Amino acid sequence: MATRILVVEDEPKVSAFIRRGLEEEGFEVEVAYDGPFGVRLALGHAFDLLILDVILPGLSGLEVLKAVRAQDQEMPILMLTALGTTQDKLLGFDGGADDYLVKPFDFVELLARVRALTRRRNRGEAKGNQLNLADLTVDTAAKTVTRAGQAIKLTAREFNLLELLIRHQGRVLSRGEIAEHTWEEAFDAGSNVIDVYVNYLRNKVDKGFGKKLIHTVVGMGYVLREE
């Protein structure tokens, strides 16, 4: 089955250039020319990669990114834009982008990044639904957690929190990001509920094991990583 790619790009010449080049390499390509249609396509169909401009009609690329990531944490997303400052890139990566390429670009470089991102996704699919860090394993389908072969029982919310952390392992998540992805109801930013649940998780995932995996970054948030 061919790899399916969604390109959200409002400049017809650019989108046609990308589509033609990728289709010549054997990819299946769909194009959306505005943000709202891009969101509908991304969430309504199965794609292996999303290539996303930032400056779009209707919704910006960052808004599209946020909408897609709220429902799909796994699809690789490549930002492709003329906005190339460090701050622009940080906004993209902080929003959940996997890669960032600045216009004007060489198609050869775009193709290399597309292949790298789709290979990474295929490797993940080959491993099934298991997410791993050190001796910690989270099975997102079976909703089970083990550490060093020992089963760990979590509540639904604890599991969702751990899944979020392990999907973003190595990246510091702010309390706001954790709340946005884990708490569906209205969240009181002044409460300490995030800290309480992180402590619950620590007591189950880290306590009694030699290596601590859940770390606090003072003033910034929490991260799951080996140290």
Backbone phi, then psi, for 156, in 5-degree steps?
-60, -45
Can you tell me the distance from the alpha carbon of 41 to that of 136, in angstroms, rounded to the nearest whole number?
Answer: 35
pLDDT single digits (tens) 51-94: 999 999 999 999 999 999 888 877 889 999 888 888 888 888 88
Average pLDDT over residues 188-199: 82
152, pLDDT greater than 90: yes
What pLDDT sits at residue 123?
53
Total-model pTM: 0.55
Q: What is the mean pLDDT of the chain?
A: 87
Quick one: pLDDT band at residue 126, thresholds 50, 70, 90?
Answer: very low
User: What pairs with residue 51 in β-bridges?
Assistant: 7, 78
Can you tell me the distance from the alpha carbon of 39 to that of 35, in angstroms, rounded to the nearest whole number?
Answer: 6
Under DSSP, is residue 20 helix (H, G, I), strand (E, B) or coil? Answer: helix
142, pLDDT greater than 80: yes
Q: Between 89 and 200, where is the model more confident?
A: 200
Query: Which range has the worst mean pLDDT, 25-39, 145-159, 182-196?
Result: 182-196
Query: Which range has the worst mean pLDDT, 41-50, 125-134, 175-184?
Result: 125-134
State the CB neighbour count (10 A cutoff) for residue 218. 5
pLDDT single digits (tens) 4-62: 899 999 999 999 999 999 999 999 999 999 999 999 998 888 788 999 999 999 999 99
Query: Which range has the worst mean pLDDT, 97-106, 119-128, 132-141?
Result: 119-128
> Tokens 């910006």 identify what position?
60
181, pLDDT greater than 50: yes
